[in-house]
Amino acid sequence: MSEHVPLSTLTTLRLGGPAEYLVECTSTDVLVEVIRLLDEQKVPVLLLAGGSNLVIGDDGFDGVVVRIATSEITVTESVVRAEAGAVWDAVVEAAVTAGVGGLECLSGIPGSAGATPVQNVGAYGVEVGSLLRRVRLLDRRTGETGWVEPAALGLGYRTSILKHSDHAVVLEIELDVRADGMSAPLGYRELSVALGAEQGERRPTAQVRDHVLGLRRGKGMVLDPADHDTWSAGSFFTNPVVPDERLGGVLEAIASRVGPDVRIPQYPADGGTKLSAAWLIERAGFAKGFPGPEAPASLSTKHTLALTNRGDATTADLLALARQIRDRVEDVFGVRLHPEPVTVGCEI
């Protein structure tokens, strides 16, 4: 057990105050026993793996941080199995190297395998929820472990019942994959264009992975310690879903701002119509790199949906920028943006 560990060293934003204590668990059995013991003693616990979808307050965490450092990955012709602490991109790379398909569009996403069903991680037309076979959970209320089917997780757009509750801990995941070494049918226009392919076409997994990584690097979405644009939590806001009864008014407000002939990106979604958060942020007056190179926290210079630490920011700096963007978009368009990362010891 370590004491007074700066949590900024364990998050991709490189923000967060100290942890009173930190325990690193490299086996699932040890992880389960540590959590059970701490829960029995009613000790405050923060579970942390890749730290890629986490905003921790400047005061840190007054309790025990349990670092999930389990890392085993196994690949067969039909199933990929990964422990919760395995680096997610290592899982994708292992699948591609083994010649199985399905995960390649999720290349380059930072974080751990265990976090993917919690957030229902998705990119380039593919969501983890569409690939999940089952998830092994520790129920902290009973201390029992067991496998559950995806239907029990309440998976939705960048969410699940696991995201807003601490009742269960992901221990392992299993994902269905294709044995033929070909990608899933391409469903995202930007990726299809980059590949010179038609939407719905399938391509070799290694080829798709290379292009996904290239697209993500161009947006500062592949971790690089030397690139402050990657000192982020990825996409900070989810794309808003506007209910049908509000859509007309919202579209009218947008058109009055950008002009009636400008195409507004919009997509069918459960509960209404999904709009592009990045597009709204830009049309509300926030350019890449806002508010400028001297700011401690700014929008990425490559992508307006990422809020970044330019090297010496505090969590308070980042949250002030997030509030400014959220409030301006709501004032201009009547659409409230919601953060994608989980917050600990702070509020947006």
Residues with a catalytic annotation lie at 158, 235, 340
Say how many C-beta atoms besides its own lie within 10 A of residue 238's C-beta.
16
Cβ atoms of 137 and 145 closer than 8 Å: yes
E strand or H helix at 309, and its extent?
strand 306-309
Cβ atoms of 6 and 14 closer than 8 Å: no
Q: 339: closest CA among 6, 154, 329?
A: 329
Q: Which residue has tokens 């290694």?
A: 206
Burial class (CB in 10 A: 0-12, 13-18, 19+), 245: exposed
Q: 117: closest CA among 70, 146, 155?
A: 155
**Coil, strand or helix: which one is 220?**
coil
Cβ atoms of 13 and 55 closer than 8 Å: yes
Give the integer Cα–Cα distance in Å for 226 and 327: 31
Give the integer Cα–Cα distance in Å for 149 and 14: 34
- 3-state helix, strand, coil split of the chain in percent (to 5) is 30, 25, 40
Cβ atoms of 160 and 120 closer than 8 Å: yes
Q: How far is CA 192 from the centre of its chain?
A: 22
Cβ atoms of 47 and 87 closer than 8 Å: no
Alpha-carbon dihedral of residues 24, 11, 208, 268, nearest 10 degrees? 120
Q: Which residue has tokens 């391409």?
A: 186
Cβ atoms of 147 and 153 closer than 8 Å: no
Rounded (5°) CA angle 265-268-271: 120
